[in-house]
Amino acid sequence: MAEGDTVERVPTGINGFDQVAIGGLPAGRPTLVTGTTGSGKTIFAGEFLARGITKNDQPGVFVTFEEPPEAIRRNFASLGFPIEQWEAEGKWAFVDAAESKDEEAAVIGAFDFGALTSRIADAVRRIGASRVVLDSLGAVFARFTDSGIVRRESYRLASALNSLGVTSVITAERNTEYDGVSRYRVEEFVVDNVIVLRNVLTGERRRRTVEIVKFRGAPHRTGEWLFTIDSREGFVVIPLAFLGMPSAPASSTRVSSGNSGLDRMCGGGFYRDAVVLLSGPSGSGKTLTSLKFLETGVAAGERCLGFTFDETREQMRRNAAGWGIDLEGMEEAGRLQVVCDYPEVASLEDYFIRIRRAVADFEPQRLVIDTLSALERIATPRALLDLVIALGAVVREHRVTTLFTSAPMSRFTPAQTPSIARELASLTDVTIALRYFQTAGMIKRTVAIVQNRGSAHDEAVRQITIDAGGMHIGAPVGTLDDMEAVGLDAPPWPGVIGDDI
């Protein structure tokens, strides 16, 4: 129970939701979960029962008004929930309220809620249930033309559930994503707790969110929270599902970046558990640095994982070969996994689940995401920031040295263009900036360590060159006035950071 919270909570066990609810659903009360078609209502409700069984040994009753029990058993089997086994063990019971639907539909308003509550009460007593789900009331209320009847019957149902002493979830349909809480606009007034699930089409992409509209007398987090539905893990709220993960002690071991000059600038390399942000415009050396980082890890006997969203596999292998890096050989040796994809192929949440699962299954010591900027094409800045926060929690738990690359907002880019690099600097351990400048009629590159938490580092802005042998870091460059005079991409070094980082 949260400090100052006098309402007893029942943890749902749903990944990340209990952090939004600050402990779970208020105990002994019905909670209305509303959403449009495909928003995840049945998944949420079913998981509420399933997690109660697996995590708290609390039996549950599932009252279905639409889908037959056979369909629900089949659908949840894909999430690893053995409902048939739980039924045999007396931990899960169905009440099929749709059995006599055809008969009841003959007389509008003739649905017998008294008989229904008796069947629910019987099932609760029979298995000793403490959780109940009703999915979905819309199938019943669609038969009533009078909203007054809907309100009255909703009150009766909520009162019956309260008298049973169970914590319940009632699902209901919404007409639109942001117009009213429920279809009949009365259901939310007869319960103390309301949760809204949304499945919004934004920029030709679907984005699912969960919002607690009210928990009467109980504190909760406000606003919409991104979630996804995973085939293995079910309902997952991002990033809250991962912020409470146990973290290993901070490492004092250094690992090489793959560039001896960059290692010296960073005080001897990166810490083993560091999250590194490498920011730079196209062609400044981000991908080369990433490839050398992976190659060095493989040479040290480490498993390495790379995700690239800017190049095809063939392009990446060709470019790596140009610098003498044998990606194919490292993959065949089992030390490297590289995933090449275009952001538009999947949703942001899908990519997060894929990356997290690859970290758990492959157990890499190094991870590269190249580049986060490409993901801005399919996500809002806030959603992308949530993904990076969640990824940061995952890689820190596994002590994976992680390199993110990102493009800054340059003078060639419209000012309104979002840039994840500006938001990430405060979340990473090391921030490295690659930039261009022009002098004597030539375009040259520079590198600077903008921050390196817990470590001394080189404060100089150094010139870099790139040739067939890779990236070479040289002497400090000239004055800032000389570089800014050309106006190509003035470097945001300490003291002149501006909006680029």
Q: So what's the pLDDT on residue 439?
A: 78
Q: So what's the pLDDT on residue 13?
A: 95
Query: Helix or strand or coil: residue 123?
Result: helix
Q: So what's the pLDDT on residue 178?
A: 67
Write 326-334 long-range contacts (CB < 8 A, 24+). 327/291, 330/294, 330/295, 330/298, 330/304, 333/298
Q: So what's the pLDDT on residue 334?
A: 96
Q: So what's the pLDDT on residue 141?
A: 66
**H or E element in which residue 295 lies:** helix 286-299
Q: So what's the pLDDT on residue 216?
A: 86
Q: Rounded to an integer, what distance in angstroms lies between the CA atom of residue 162 and that of residue 27?
A: 10
Q: So what's the pLDDT on residue 220?
A: 93
Q: So what's the pLDDT on residue 45?
A: 96
Q: So what's the pLDDT on residue 138?
A: 72
- The beta strands (E) that lie in 7-151 are given as 9-10, 25-26, 30-35, 60-64, 92-96, 131-135
Q: So what's the pLDDT on residue 108?
A: 42
Q: So what's the pLDDT on residue 422?
A: 63
Q: Give the list of residues 6+ apart from residue 359 with CB closer than 8 angstroms, or none.
A: 305, 367, 394, 395, 398, 400
Q: So what's the pLDDT on residue 25?
A: 96
- DSSP character string of 394-446: HHHHHT-EEEEEE----TTS-TTS--HHHHHTTT-SEEEEEEEEEETTEEEEE
As a dihedral over the C-alpha atoms of residue 491, residue 495, residue 498, residue 500, rounded to 10 degrees, the angle is: 40
pLDDT in tens, the chain (501 residues): 554 567 899 999 999 999 999 999 999 999 999 998 888 999 999 999 999 999 999 999 999 988 899 999 999 998 999 999 999 999 999 999 875 544 444 444 456 677 888 999 999 999 999 999 999 877 676 666 566 666 677 777 888 888 999 999 999 888 776 665 555 554 555 678 999 999 887 766 778 899 999 998 899 999 889 898 988 889 999 887 787 666 667 888 999 999 999 999 999 999 999 999 999 998 899 999 999 999 999 999 999 999 999 889 999 999 999 999 999 999 999 999 999 998 888 888 889 989 999 999 999 999 999 988 888 888 877 788 888 888 998 999 899 999 999 987 443 334 443 455 566 777 899 999 999 888 778 889 999 999 999 999 999 999 999 998 899 999 998 754 544 433 334 444 333 333 333
**H or E element in which residue 264 lies:** helix 260-265
